[in-house]
């Protein structure tokens, strides 16, 4: 069963605008780690941001921030001031104690940035 769900297969945003990508996950554990990876057309998987579940403060990395709602099991990615170079497939992923160090990925969201 799919345990990481990205319900938006595709999203688009105007350059300089803000966009939010959704991710929900399913786990009964309390200690886990969440990640957003970006895959541009070059195919390279690039870490965008990560969040430790035991930290209540939302992670931020420059124009990228997350809205982590632990009770709702939601982990959305907000991209501010979108740039053409942000166009990519974005994957939400987590790692849990019961699955070792493996990453479990969502289906991905293809983001288009319009000039």
Partner 1 sequence: DTAVSQTPKYLVTQMGNDKSIKCEQNLGHDTMYWYKQDSKKFLKIMFSYNNKELIINETVPNRFSPKSPDKAHLNLHINSLELGDSAVYFCASSPHRDRKETQYFGPGTRLLVL
Q: How many CB atoms lie within 10 A of CB 75?
A: 28
Q: Which is nearer to partner 1, 26 or 97 (CB)?
A: 97
Q: Which is nearer to partner 1, 62 or 115 (CB)?
A: 62
Tell me the per-residue interface mask from 24 to 53 with partner 1, x by CB under 8 A, - otherwise: --------xx-x-x-x--xxxxxx--x-x-
By CB under 8 A, the residues from 90 to 109 that bind partner 1 are 91, 93, 95-97, 99-105, 107-108
Residues 35 and 105 sit within 8 Å (Cβ to Cβ): no
Residues 65 and 9 sit within 8 Å (Cβ to Cβ): no
Shortest gap between Cβ of 45 and partner 1 (angstroms)?
4
Shortest gap between Cβ of 9 and partner 1 (angstroms)?
10
Q: E strand or H helix at 37, and its extent?
A: strand 32-39
- Per CB under 8 A, does 73 bind partner 1? no
What lies within 8 Å, CB to CB, of 30 at 6+ separation is 53, 54
């Amino acid at each position: 069963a799919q345990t990481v769900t990205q319900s938006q297969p595709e999203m688009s945003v105007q350059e300089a605008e803000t966009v939010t990508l959704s991710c929900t996950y399913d786990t009964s554990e309390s200690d886990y780690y969440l990640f957003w990876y970006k895959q541009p057309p070059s195919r390279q998987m690039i870490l965008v941001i990560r969040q430790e579940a035991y930290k209540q403060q939302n992670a931020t990395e420059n124009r990228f921030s997350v809205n982590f709602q632990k009770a709702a099991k939601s982990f959305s990615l907000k991209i501010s001031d979108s740039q053409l170079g942000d166009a990519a497939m974005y994957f939400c992923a987590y790692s849990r104690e019961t699955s070792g160090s493996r990453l479990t990925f969502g289906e991905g969201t293809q983001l288009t940035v319009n000039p």
